């Protein structure tokens, strides 16, 4: 299917076009790369900086992220909002294979055309996001009202996922010993909301929420003027789930009111482009181009260009610089 037709169908919010589009953006063959580029460039320009709420959900294994996400999806479906989800799981560094099992707990996805789930393996990005995740979010945002990116919180992925969503939610389970580790690593400085899950477990949840509140007071003040909130929820009995959705919507309104949304998306795009270029050309390539500062300047000046076009354009410039270095 030609990418123009795919783009038309996605922009008309045709769910049936989503799997094909996601297969296309994941395809490394040169001819397909060109089609994929055309599709993504157009989507990013036409969808613009409004549209779907983009929410990252992260947390340690066992914190109940998927179960909470399932409860959120059910609540959104009751409000007749459609939902697209990308669930990222780590790849085995040895075999390159991956076990993607997140659908198991996303029961609400079954048989409902208003819910879409795609699992992605992180591939060679240890603890990070799949290459296709950034592009996948663009595809889902064209079609669905809410888009979630779910990752296992193991360090690197928090800051990466923070770059491609508007709102980052961190899910903690009561009495989790890893909270302190997260605080030390500064990861608590990224999320906009913290959800202490499994409040049906009783007092441990209250203690964890109090610890988080205390930890937040010690952390760095958020730069977008939003004070992170700590919420309690129980995916099991549905308690607190609506409040979580409301907090996500409140953060989005805050971003829109302060102009932070546009800025956040712009920074997310630049981070994606920088990351893609550094990975492709290494520090040597960037040095030949004129160094980090020159690159950041170049990226910062590229207003109005899609991230995908920017990768392509600046890649050509770096290749020219490299060719000159070899000559």
Chain residues in the site for other proteins (CB under 8 A): 18-19, 22-23, 26-29, 32, 61-62, 64, 70, 74, 89, 91-92, 94-101, 103-105, 107-111, 116-119, 121, 123, 236-237
Reference 116, options 223, 19, 233, 260; nearest CA is 19
Tokens found for residue 201: 């477990």
Residue 73 or residue 314: which is nearer to other proteins going by CB?
73
DSSP 304: T
Q: Nearest approach, Cβ of 127 to other proteins (angstroms)?
A: 15
Query: What CA–CA distance (Å, rounded) separates 145 from 52?
Result: 5
* Phi-psi category of residue 230: left, alpha or beta, with phi > 0 → left and psi -120 to 50 → alpha: beta
Q: Nearest approach, Cβ of 47 to other proteins (angstroms)?
A: 20
Residue 110 or residue 327: which is nearer to other proteins going by CB?
110
Query: What CA–CA distance (Å, rounded) separates 63 from 152?
Result: 10
Q: In what order do the strands lie in the sheet with 115-121?
A: 115-121, 83-89, 146-152, 53-59, 167-172, 193-196, 229-232
Residue 11 or residue 204: which is nearer to other proteins going by CB?
204
Q: Nearest approach, Cβ of 249 to other proteins (angstroms)?
A: 23
Q: Nearest approach, Cβ of 118 to other proteins (angstroms)?
A: 6
Query: What CA–CA distance (Å, rounded) separates 142 from 169?
Result: 22
Pairing relation of β-strands 167-172 and 83-89? unpaired
Q: Nearest approach, Cβ of 27 to other proteins (angstroms)?
A: 4
DSSP 195: E
Residue 126 or residue 325: which is nearer to other proteins going by CB?
126
Q: Nearest approach, Cβ of 157 to other proteins (angstroms)?
A: 16
Residue 112 or residue 145: which is nearer to other proteins going by CB?
112
Residue 148 or residue 289: which is nearer to other proteins going by CB?
148
Query: What CA–CA distance (Å, rounded) separates 296 from 267?
Result: 11
């Amino acid at each position: 299917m030609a990418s123009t037709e795919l783009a038309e169908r996605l922009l008309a919010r045709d769910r049936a076009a989503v799997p094909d589009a996601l297969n296309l953006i994941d395809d490394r063959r040169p001819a397909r790369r060109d089609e994929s580029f055309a599709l993504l460039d157009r989507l990013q320009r036409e969808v613009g900086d409004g549209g779907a709420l983009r929410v990252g959900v992260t947390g340690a294994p066992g914190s109940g992220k998927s179960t909470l996400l399932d409860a959120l999806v059910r609540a959104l479906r009751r409000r007749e909002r459609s939902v697209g989800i990308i669930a990222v799981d780590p790849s085995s560094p040895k075999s390159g294979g991956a076990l993607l099992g997140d659908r198991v707990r996303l029961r609400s996805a079954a048989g409902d055309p208003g819910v879409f789930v795609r699992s992605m393996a992180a591939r060679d990005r240890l603890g990070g996001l799949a290459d296709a995740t950034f592009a996948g979010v663009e595809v889902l945002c064209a079609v669905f009202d809410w888009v979630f990116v779910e990752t296992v919180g193991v360090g690197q992925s928090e800051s990466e996922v923070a770059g491609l969503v508007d709102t980052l939610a961190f899910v903690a389970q009561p009495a989790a010993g890893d909270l302190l580790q997260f605080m030390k690593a500064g990861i608590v400085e990224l999320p906009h909301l913290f959800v202490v899950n499994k409040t049906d477990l009783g007092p441990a949840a209250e203690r964890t929420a109090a610890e988080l509140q205390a930890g937040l007071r010690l952390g760095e003040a958020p730069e977008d003027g939003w004070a992170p909130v700590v919420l309690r929820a129980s995916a099991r009995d549905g308690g607190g789930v609506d409040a979580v959705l409301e907090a996500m919507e409140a953060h989005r309104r805050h971003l829109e009111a302060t102009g932070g949304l546009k800025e956040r998306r712009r920074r997310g795009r630049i981070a994606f482009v920088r990351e893609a270029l550094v990975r492709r050309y290494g520090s040597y390539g960037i040095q030949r181009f004129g160094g980090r500062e020159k690159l950041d300047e170049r990226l910062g000046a590229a207003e109005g260009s899609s991230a995908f076009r920017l990768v392509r354009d600046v890649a050509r410039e770096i290749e020219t610089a490299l060719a000159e270095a070899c000559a």
